[in-house]
């Protein structure tokens, strides 16, 4: 059994990387491998926006991550610098920058690249979904 670090840089909806990452993580966890954190970086952080409304029965990667995290006690981390640039804020950041709203999805946490580095160092393998 292996421990995987997971880095997701693909934007939701306009690329397939989020879906590939979800599929990989579900399969790896089902097979008994260990994943503790998913790190979202660059355009990958857009999945942490709770104000997305995909029409009809289209897949909703944000909700899917939430569900996977609830089931397997995963930490979903968005890089703070990437997120701030792209308008993804939790209530603390909204307060800090005196903005009138926050929009981080439940189950997601604002974090930094140091966390990714530590995750990589502790894993057998890093999987990148860009």
Partner 1 sequence: MVSQPLCLVFNKSRTGIAAREQLDIGLMAAAFGQAVTLVFLGDGVYQLLADQQPEAIGAWDHSKIYAGLDLYDIKELVVEAESLAVRKLAESDLSAPVLVEPAASIRERFKSTQVVIL
**Which residue is associated with the tokens 């089931």?**
71
Q: What is the smallest separation between the CB atom of 56 and partner 1, expressed in angstroms?
A: 32
Q: What is the smallest separation between the CB atom of 104 and partner 1, expressed in angstroms?
A: 19
Is residue 7 involved in binding partner 1 (CB under 8 A)? Answer: yes
Known catalytic membership, residue 25: no
For the stretch 51-56, contacts whose Cβ atoms lie closer than 8 Å and that sit 24 or more positions apart, written own/partner, are 51/103, 52/12, 54/13
The answer to whether the beta carbons of residues 81 and 116 sit under 8 Å apart is: no
Residues 88 and 85: their CA atoms lie apart, in Å, by: 8
* Sites for partner 1 among residues 61-120 (CB under 8 A): 81-82, 85, 112-114, 116-118, 120
Which residues contact partner 1 (rule: CB under 8 A)?
7, 41-42, 81-82, 85, 112-114, 116-118, 120-122, 125-126, 128, 130
Q: Which residues are catalytic?
A: 79
């Amino acid at each position: 059994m292996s421990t995987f670090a997971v880095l997701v840089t693909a934007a939701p909806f306009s690329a397939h990387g989020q879906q590939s990452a979800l599929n990989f993580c579900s399969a790896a966890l089902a097979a008994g491998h260990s994943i503790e954190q998913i790190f979202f970086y660059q355009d990958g952080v857009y999945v942490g926006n709770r104000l997305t409304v995909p029409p009809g029965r289209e897949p909703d990667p944000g909700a899917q991550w939430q569900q996977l995290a609830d089931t397997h006690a995963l930490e979903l981390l968005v890089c703070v610098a990437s997120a701030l640039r792209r308008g993804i804020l939790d209530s603390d950041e909204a307060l800090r920058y005196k903005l009138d709203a926050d929009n981080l999805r439940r189950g997601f946490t604002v974090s930094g690249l140091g966390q990714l580095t530590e995750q990589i160092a502790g894993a057998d393998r890093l999987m990148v979904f860009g």
